[in-house]
Amino acid sequence: MSRIDETRDFVPVRIAVLTVSDTRDATQDRSGDALVARLTGAGHVLADRKILRDERDEIASQLRDWCADPAIDVVISTGGTGLTGRDVTVEAHRDVYEKEIDAFGTVFTIVSMNKIGTSAVQSRATGGVANGTYLFALPGSPGACKDAWDEILVKQLDYRHRPCNFVEILPRLDEHQRRK
Protein backbone atom coordinates (compact mmCIF):
# COMPACT_ATOMS: atom_id res chain seq x y z
CA MET A 1 0.00 0.00 0.00
CA SER A 2 1.20 3.54 -0.60
CA ARG A 3 2.73 5.42 2.29
CA ILE A 4 5.15 8.19 3.21
CA ASP A 5 8.58 6.93 4.28
CA GLU A 6 9.53 9.33 7.07
CA THR A 7 13.14 8.08 6.98
CA ARG A 8 13.64 9.87 3.63
CA ASP A 9 14.10 13.61 3.26
CA PHE A 10 11.53 15.64 1.33
CA VAL A 11 12.90 16.86 -2.03
CA PRO A 12 11.18 19.97 -3.39
CA VAL A 13 10.60 20.14 -7.13
CA ARG A 14 10.30 23.25 -9.27
CA ILE A 15 6.85 23.56 -10.82
CA ALA A 16 5.49 25.89 -13.50
CA VAL A 17 1.74 26.51 -13.64
CA LEU A 18 -0.03 27.36 -16.89
CA THR A 19 -3.66 28.43 -16.99
CA VAL A 20 -5.30 28.07 -20.39
CA SER A 21 -8.34 30.29 -20.84
CA ASP A 22 -9.88 32.67 -23.34
CA THR A 23 -11.69 34.53 -20.56
CA ARG A 24 -9.63 34.50 -17.33
CA ASP A 25 -6.93 36.85 -16.18
CA ALA A 26 -4.75 36.73 -13.05
CA THR A 27 -7.51 38.18 -10.85
CA GLN A 28 -9.94 35.40 -11.84
CA ASP A 29 -7.58 32.42 -11.96
CA ARG A 30 -9.01 30.35 -9.10
CA SER A 31 -7.68 27.08 -10.51
CA GLY A 32 -4.14 28.41 -10.91
CA ASP A 33 -4.38 29.92 -7.42
CA ALA A 34 -5.47 26.55 -5.99
CA LEU A 35 -2.54 24.77 -7.60
CA VAL A 36 -0.02 27.38 -6.44
CA ALA A 37 -1.36 27.25 -2.87
CA ARG A 38 -1.16 23.47 -2.81
CA LEU A 39 2.27 23.09 -4.39
CA THR A 40 3.89 25.75 -2.22
CA GLY A 41 2.03 24.45 0.83
CA ALA A 42 3.55 21.03 0.16
CA GLY A 43 7.05 22.56 0.10
CA HIS A 44 7.63 22.74 -3.65
CA VAL A 45 8.85 25.80 -5.56
CA LEU A 46 6.70 27.83 -7.95
CA ALA A 47 9.16 28.20 -10.84
CA ASP A 48 6.90 30.21 -13.17
CA ARG A 49 3.25 30.97 -13.84
CA LYS A 50 1.45 32.16 -16.95
CA ILE A 51 -1.98 32.47 -18.51
CA LEU A 52 -2.43 31.75 -22.21
CA ARG A 53 -5.42 31.73 -24.53
CA ASP A 54 -6.71 28.45 -26.00
CA GLU A 55 -4.27 28.42 -28.92
CA ARG A 56 -2.63 25.06 -29.54
CA ASP A 57 0.63 26.37 -31.02
CA GLU A 58 1.11 28.94 -28.25
CA ILE A 59 0.44 26.36 -25.54
CA ALA A 60 2.84 23.85 -27.10
CA SER A 61 5.50 26.55 -27.51
CA GLN A 62 5.25 27.51 -23.84
CA LEU A 63 5.42 23.86 -22.79
CA ARG A 64 8.54 23.36 -24.92
CA ASP A 65 10.16 26.50 -23.47
CA TRP A 66 9.56 25.26 -19.94
CA CYS A 67 10.80 21.76 -20.80
CA ALA A 68 14.03 23.33 -22.09
CA ASP A 69 14.50 25.31 -18.87
CA PRO A 70 16.73 23.41 -16.42
CA ALA A 71 15.09 25.34 -13.55
CA ILE A 72 11.72 23.61 -14.16
CA ASP A 73 11.04 19.98 -13.25
CA VAL A 74 7.25 19.82 -13.64
CA VAL A 75 4.62 21.72 -15.63
CA ILE A 76 0.98 21.64 -14.58
CA SER A 77 -1.60 23.22 -16.86
CA THR A 78 -5.23 23.86 -16.04
CA GLY A 79 -7.99 24.42 -18.55
CA GLY A 80 -8.72 23.45 -22.12
CA THR A 81 -9.16 19.73 -21.50
CA GLY A 82 -12.85 19.51 -22.33
CA LEU A 83 -14.66 18.54 -25.51
CA THR A 84 -15.47 21.89 -27.12
CA GLY A 85 -13.80 23.18 -30.25
CA ARG A 86 -11.60 25.63 -28.32
CA ASP A 87 -10.34 22.96 -25.89
CA VAL A 88 -6.89 22.21 -27.33
CA THR A 89 -4.65 21.81 -24.29
CA VAL A 90 -4.52 18.02 -24.50
CA GLU A 91 -3.52 18.19 -28.17
CA ALA A 92 -0.83 20.77 -27.36
CA HIS A 93 0.54 18.55 -24.59
CA ARG A 94 0.62 15.54 -26.89
CA ASP A 95 2.47 17.62 -29.49
CA VAL A 96 5.25 17.95 -26.90
CA TYR A 97 5.27 14.56 -25.12
CA GLU A 98 8.03 12.07 -25.73
CA LYS A 99 6.12 9.58 -23.59
CA GLU A 100 2.58 9.72 -22.31
CA ILE A 101 1.82 8.65 -18.74
CA ASP A 102 -1.32 6.75 -19.72
CA ALA A 103 -2.30 5.79 -16.19
CA PHE A 104 -2.43 9.44 -15.06
CA GLY A 105 -5.62 10.07 -17.04
CA THR A 106 -7.07 6.77 -15.88
CA VAL A 107 -6.37 7.44 -12.21
CA PHE A 108 -7.72 10.99 -12.57
CA THR A 109 -10.92 9.56 -14.05
CA ILE A 110 -11.28 7.20 -11.09
CA VAL A 111 -10.78 10.07 -8.65
CA SER A 112 -13.30 12.18 -10.59
CA MET A 113 -15.87 9.38 -10.70
CA ASN A 114 -15.84 9.33 -6.91
CA LYS A 115 -16.50 13.09 -6.85
CA ILE A 116 -18.73 13.88 -9.84
CA GLY A 117 -19.98 10.52 -11.10
CA THR A 118 -20.31 9.91 -14.81
CA SER A 119 -19.57 13.56 -15.62
CA ALA A 120 -15.94 12.42 -15.31
CA VAL A 121 -16.14 11.10 -18.87
CA GLN A 122 -15.99 14.70 -20.13
CA SER A 123 -12.48 15.24 -18.76
CA ARG A 124 -9.40 14.55 -20.82
CA ALA A 125 -6.73 14.98 -18.14
CA THR A 126 -3.36 13.73 -19.34
CA GLY A 127 0.25 13.44 -18.27
CA GLY A 128 3.52 12.91 -20.04
CA VAL A 129 7.25 13.46 -20.15
CA ALA A 130 9.36 15.61 -22.46
CA ASN A 131 13.02 16.61 -22.25
CA GLY A 132 13.32 15.36 -18.68
CA THR A 133 10.26 17.30 -17.50
CA TYR A 134 6.90 16.02 -16.29
CA LEU A 135 3.82 17.63 -17.84
CA PHE A 136 0.25 17.33 -16.57
CA ALA A 137 -2.91 18.79 -18.11
CA LEU A 138 -5.79 19.22 -15.67
CA PRO A 139 -9.34 20.49 -16.20
CA GLY A 140 -10.04 24.16 -15.58
CA SER A 141 -12.26 23.81 -12.53
CA PRO A 142 -10.75 24.52 -9.11
CA GLY A 143 -12.33 21.31 -7.79
CA ALA A 144 -10.67 19.18 -10.46
CA CYS A 145 -7.30 20.83 -9.79
CA LYS A 146 -7.65 20.22 -6.06
CA ASP A 147 -8.66 16.60 -6.66
CA ALA A 148 -5.71 15.96 -9.01
CA TRP A 149 -3.27 17.51 -6.56
CA ASP A 150 -4.71 16.04 -3.36
CA GLU A 151 -5.27 12.53 -4.68
CA ILE A 152 -2.42 12.04 -7.16
CA LEU A 153 0.23 14.71 -7.57
CA VAL A 154 0.94 15.51 -3.92
CA LYS A 155 1.89 11.85 -3.50
CA GLN A 156 3.71 11.25 -6.77
CA LEU A 157 5.71 14.48 -6.43
CA ASP A 158 6.88 13.51 -2.93
CA TYR A 159 10.23 11.71 -2.90
CA ARG A 160 9.21 9.99 0.34
CA HIS A 161 6.15 8.33 -1.21
CA ARG A 162 6.38 4.54 -1.38
CA PRO A 163 6.46 2.20 -3.13
CA CYS A 164 7.47 4.61 -5.91
CA ASN A 165 7.13 8.22 -7.04
CA PHE A 166 7.91 10.53 -9.94
CA VAL A 167 10.68 12.41 -8.12
CA GLU A 168 13.01 9.44 -7.65
CA ILE A 169 13.12 8.77 -11.41
CA LEU A 170 13.31 12.44 -12.43
CA PRO A 171 17.10 12.28 -13.00
CA ARG A 172 16.60 9.36 -15.40
CA LEU A 173 13.84 10.81 -17.60
CA ASP A 174 16.26 12.00 -20.24
CA GLU A 175 18.89 9.24 -19.94
CA HIS A 176 18.17 8.17 -23.53
CA GLN A 177 19.53 11.55 -24.72
CA ARG A 178 22.88 11.22 -22.94
CA ARG A 179 25.99 10.11 -24.76
CA LYS A 180 27.00 6.55 -24.18
The string of pLDDT tens digits covering residues 59-95 is 999 999 999 999 999 999 999 998 988 999 999 999 9
pLDDT over 90 at 178, yes or no: no
Domain residue ranges of the chain, discontinuous segments joined by +: 11-174
Q: What does each C-alpha distance from 149 to 107, 124, 143 come to in angstroms?
A: 12, 16, 10
DSSP state letter for 118: G
Q: Give the whole-angstrom CA distance, residue 140 versus residue 49.
A: 15
Domain at 11-174, CATH homologous superfamily = MoaB/Mog-like domain (3.40.980.10)
| Residue 157 CB neighbours (<10 A) | 26
Query: What average pLDDT does this structure show over 109-131?
Result: 94
The string of pLDDT tens digits covering residues 127-177 is 999 999 999 999 999 999 999 999 999 999 999 999 999 999 999 998 877
pLDDT over 70 at 38, yes or no: yes
Judge contact between 63 and 135, C-beta under 8 A: yes
